Amino acid sequence: RDTRAPFRFDYERFRRSLRHPVRGGRRGEDPETRARRMKIKEMMKFAWDNYRQYALGKNELRPLSRNGHIGNMFGGLRGATVIDALDTLYIMELEEEFQEAKQWVEKSFDLNVNGEASLFEVNIRYIGGLLATYYLTGEEVFKSKALELGEKLLPAFNTPTGIPRGVINLGSGMSWSWGWASAGSSILAEFGTLHLEFLHLSELSGNPVFAEKATLSLSQVRNIRRVLSRVEKPQGLYPNFLSPVTGGWVQHHVSIGGLGDSFYEYLIKSWLMSDKKDSEAKKMYDDALEAIEKHLVKKSAGGLTYIAEWRGGILDHKMGHLACFSGGMIALGAQHGPEERRQRHMELAAEITSTCHESYTRSDTKLGPEAFRFDAGSEATATRLSERYYILRPEVVESYMYLWRLTHDPKYRHWGWDVVQALEKHCRVESGFSGIRDVYTTTPTHDNMQQSFFLAETLKYLYLLFCEDDVLSLEDWVFNTEAHPLPINHTDFKA
């Protein structure tokens, strides 16, 4: 029988350890910056009010038909927009709206569901959103829901290698791989994007099993790293598909965009979150970035730097919108290391961010396409019909926010404001915001979907771009890949 004293997380002590007030304390900005920030706050209120009116409890708002969408990604869980919006509402001081969201979590958020969920999406949106809101507010309901939901994800790790499968039934605990993933493989960005959240689940619960699962072996999450360090990496690169049965690569496709992206992001962020103690994560990040610089970073004929994809040794000269987060990631990682490397990485970060900016300015709507290419006669533009859409994605403004904080070059605020104006012009409809089907026409049709990440990420990063640096300071917080802030572990908070 376990006779240890019950674990209790000391929230007050945690709050005292923060170096800056959560919502910042500095004032003294110019009126224009404040006015722009207030505009973004108004957009958030508009997005939330319409969701609340027409779709509360569903996962997303369909703003044109004024109803809700549930989808099949979250295994029967509801309220994705509520959970994703909580911390943004709180940071923007939309108090009444925050209370509405909190009330829904207390009264209506049901975890006893039976359905197929994406382990990755539930982790980054639901667990991430609940954890962040707990750390920001200290309200126990968010912590207990996060821990209860975290328990339901653990069976996905019961595989021969401990590498989790991508889909889990939240009722039965059965898990399997995505039908579209070749030969039953697990996806690098999915199993590599659990560490931050699971570390905090383990911190808050006193149950190390979470950290083990996520670090692929704080027993299990740390075990994921063990498997990855053992397997041979083609030219130092990590392919996107790995077998949860054998622990070997299933096919050699490498990308910093979808399927690979957040694996790299969570390596540098795991190190930052550990207060720079997780040296294994830092080394994996440094080595991976070196391989990316060597094999994937290219310059177009017109002088644009981009990160190509690698398919079994053949380069595909395209970049996805999802890969545009990498400018911010590389800038964040560049702050720590020898000066020569710091400068090189800051230049690379600025160049990639500038290329992603070009993908926006070269469209008629001034919003960027889902993917853009660099081949004969075409640079930073989508050449395929199937890649011309924009679904309110955040990655480009995410990089603007990091580059602004780390350089204070005013162009990043100008670029961010251009995005605000384009969103208002092309995506704002009578009852919310909608993605558009083609960025290369001045009269785009809408896709009738207000994605939950628009409230979690796009509007949060835009807001922070026009805040002082001490609002959700990078000295205190690391953003998960859904822009939910999780604290850097300055000390140990067991009561």
Q: Identify the bridge partners of residue 169 per DSSP, sorted by sequence position.
A: 116
Tell me the pLDDT tens digit for each residue of 345-380: 999 999 999 999 999 999 999 999 999 999 988 999
Residue 395 among the catalytic residues: yes
- CB-based contact 235:296 (threshold 8 Å): no
- CB-based contact 245:186 (threshold 8 Å): no
Q: Is 88 annotated as a binding residue?
A: no
Considering only CA atoms, which of 385, 390, 387 is closest in space to residue 368? Answer: 390
pTM score, whole prediction: 0.96
In this prediction, residues 29-36 reach a mean pLDDT of 94
410 burial type by CB count under 10 A (0-12 exposed, 13-18 middle, 19+ buried): exposed
Query: Which tops the pLDDT comparison, 180 or 216?
Result: 180
Which class does domain 19-487 fall in? mainly alpha
d(CA 15, CA 487): 10
185 DSSP assignment: P
Considering only CA atoms, which of 371, 266, 353 is closest in space to residue 309? Answer: 371
Q: Hey, what's the torsion of the CAs at 39, 395, 131, 1, to 10 degrees?
A: 180
Residue 42 among the catalytic residues: no
Tell me the pLDDT tens digit for each residue of 175-192: 999 998 888 999 999 999
- Average pLDDT of the chain to the nearest whole number: 94
Which of 370, 447, 476, 482 is labelled catalytic?
370
* pLDDT at residue 222, rounded to an integer: 74
Considering only CA atoms, which of 303, 273, 307, 305 is closest in space to residue 288? Answer: 307
* pLDDT at residue 202, rounded to an integer: 85
Q: Quick one: pLDDT band at residue 207, thresholds 50, 70, 90? A: confident
The answer on pLDDT for 7 being more than 70 is no
d(CA 434, CA 65): 11
The answer on pLDDT for 466 being more than 60 is yes
Amino acid present at 168: I
Residue 468 among the catalytic residues: no
Considering only CA atoms, which of 455, 446, 463 is closest in space to residue 401? Answer: 463
Which of 60, 84, 261, 476 is labelled catalytic?
261
